[in-house]
Amino acid sequence: MGLVESGAKIALLEALNYPGGCASTFTRRGYAFEAGATLFSGFGEGQLMRRWIDTYGLPVDVDWLDPLIELRTPDWKLDISSNRDELVENFSKLPGASKPKLARFFEKQKNVADTLWALFDDPDLLPPITVRSLMTHVARSPKYLPLLGLMGKSMQKVVQQSGLQDFEPLRVYLDALCQITVQVPSDNAEAPFAMAATDYCFRGTGHVAGGIGVLTTALCDHIARSGSDVMFSTRAKSLEYSDKSWTVQTRNGPIRAPIVMANLLPQNMQKLLQAPSRDAVKTLDAGAKRVQKGWGAAMMYLAVENDAIDSPSAHHYELVADPNKPFIAGNHIFCSVSDTRETHRAPDGQRTMTVSTHVPMSELLSYPDEEKGEYIESIQNRMKETLSSLMPQVVEKTRFEMTASPRTFERFTRRAFGYVGGIPRRVGLQNYQGMFPRALMNGLYTVGDSGFPGQSTLATAIGGLRTAEAAMS
């Protein structure tokens, strides 16, 4: 959007025939599903998504849900509220809770989150740094000092320092939340990133009425109305630099431009880029190795009867079958259910439901090709078992079912091997490297969840905005 406002002539290439990629709403057999089970943030007053909606008059409505998520285990349930104080109250009702300790932990967490989310609320504070942003950072430097003591520590360490290490509901909540945000459990999550991500539910997070595809379509329509070209079903086949310009080969012919911004994984760029520089090869190799430590997703796309869910509004669930086992491979699933008023998404009396779980890609890729399908099938069976044990009414009232795997994601989104979710934020100072937009080669930039500033739809959007600023400067 920053490039549009700058007056640049843009050609937006999308391999699919609809926008959004992993953050899209797609249609199959008369049903409209979210590609991934998730909620989206940044819609609060003054935040980036809200500013875009208001500034450009986008036809997008956001439903504010409370609770945002219902977390279930075999022994207890927790309503995850969009209000921090209410969440503390809900925790306090569970056996073994210490409200004073919980209040102190969440106050500490809030202070860290406020400091870091301020950078997302005002993206101009992120690189590239200007004189104004530098002066702002200098004025705020006392707030940054407490972060230094958390760098290189795990989220679990912070919980231990708060005296809450034996309170299972908090550990399960943090493990589940960290797995879907920073992509690792709390005992291996870099504390500043994890503590900021714990504010996920409190930062303008809601359900886009009609599906996230409503937002991505509205953004593309605005770009097209502004005089730029939006080209669906147009996949880039190669990328080559000559005569101070880039040539992007597509099936519809070449496109030449002085600046290219590619929302691609390093692995995809390695295949696309012709005659890369030595520095580009080094950067892409390092990025690919970091991505390889990440995840794929196994999916279930369901259509259920409306009354399979108690509430008629959109709803989101996190289900954990065994809190003492890793929150991956069907033991932990995230479920997003459409609103009954979204009648275009399913036949009368039905609503759609997207269910996802993390797939450890290092394990999947270690199997011979003939065994990969069996491994994914075992994960999907585990997903069904978790759903059946914690939400049996959903299984009983399912009227349509379709599954997907990392291979499916690779086929439809063109992401190498079906990697999703970005780079896991495991404990270590490596998380603070490359936290700025940098050209891969002259006028060539990469954006997306595997680059600056990291994963999530909001972070990817902000990264694109700041990278565009760097490119145009």
pLDDT over threshold 90, residue 455: no
| Helices and strands (DSSP H and E) totals, the chain | 16, 18
* pLDDT of res. 436: 86
Mean pLDDT along residues 442-461: 90
- Tokens 């595809």 sit at which residue? 213
Mean pLDDT along residues 222-238: 93
Record the tokens describing residue 226, joined without a space.
């502004």
Record the tokens describing residue 438, joined without a space.
């940098």
CA contacts within 13 A on the Cβ side of 236:
25
Q: Which residues are within 8 A (CB) of 211 and not within 5 positions of it... i.e. 6 or more apart?
A: 25, 32, 34, 338, 342, 345
* pLDDT of res. 114: 95
Cα angle, residue 91 at apex, residues 112 and 119 outer, rounded to 5°: 20
Record the tokens describing residue 42, joined without a space.
């940044």
34-76 per-position pLDDT tens digit: 999 888 999 999 999 999 999 999 999 999 999 999 999 999 9
* pLDDT of res. 115: 95
Give the phi and the psi of residue 88 in degrees, each rounded to 5. Answer: -60, -40
Taking the C-alpha atoms of residue 81 and residue 86, their distance in angstroms, rounded to an integer, is 6
Using pLDDT thresholds of 50, 70 and 90, give the confidence band for residue 155. Answer: very high
CA-wise closest residue to 406 among 323, 315, 316, 298: 298
CA-wise closest residue to 21 among 6, 4, 9, 38: 38
- Counting beta carbons within 10 angstroms of the beta carbon of residue 8, is it exposed (0 to 12), middle (13 to 18) or buried (19 or more)? middle
* pLDDT of res. 422: 86
* pLDDT of res. 74: 98
CA-wise closest residue to 314 among 93, 123, 69: 69
Taking the C-alpha atoms of residue 320 and residue 70, their distance in angstroms, rounded to an integer, is 11
CA 444 to chain CA mean position, Å = 24
CB atoms within 10 A of CB 322: 12
- CA dihedral over 127, 132, 135, 139, signed as positive or negative: negative
240-255 per-position pLDDT tens digit: 999 899 999 998 899 9
* pLDDT of res. 454: 84
Record the tokens describing residue 245, joined without a space.
């310009």
**DSSP, residue by residue, 81-139:** -SSHHHHHHHHHTSTT--HHHHHHHHHHHHHHHHHHHHHHHSGGGSSSP-HHHHHHHHH
pLDDT over threshold 90, residue 451: no
Mean pLDDT along residues 375-389: 97
Mean pLDDT along residues 110-135: 92
Percent above pLDDT 70 for the chain: 100
- Counting beta carbons within 10 angstroms of the beta carbon of residue 191, is it exposed (0 to 12), middle (13 to 18) or buried (19 or more)? buried
Bond from prior residue into 192 cis (ω within 30 degrees of 0): no
78 beta partners:
71
pLDDT over threshold 90, residue 359: yes
- CA dihedral over 442, 446, 451, 453, signed as positive or negative: positive
193-210 per-position pLDDT tens digit: 999 999 999 999 999 999
Average pLDDT score, the chain:
94
Using pLDDT thresholds of 50, 70 and 90, give the confidence band for residue 379. Answer: very high
Identify the H or E element spanning 142: helix 131-148
CA-wise closest residue to 388 among 300, 296, 295, 298: 300
* pLDDT of res. 35: 92
Bond from prior residue into 368 cis (ω within 30 degrees of 0): no
Q: Is residue 319 within 8 Å of residue 386, measured between CB atoms?
A: yes
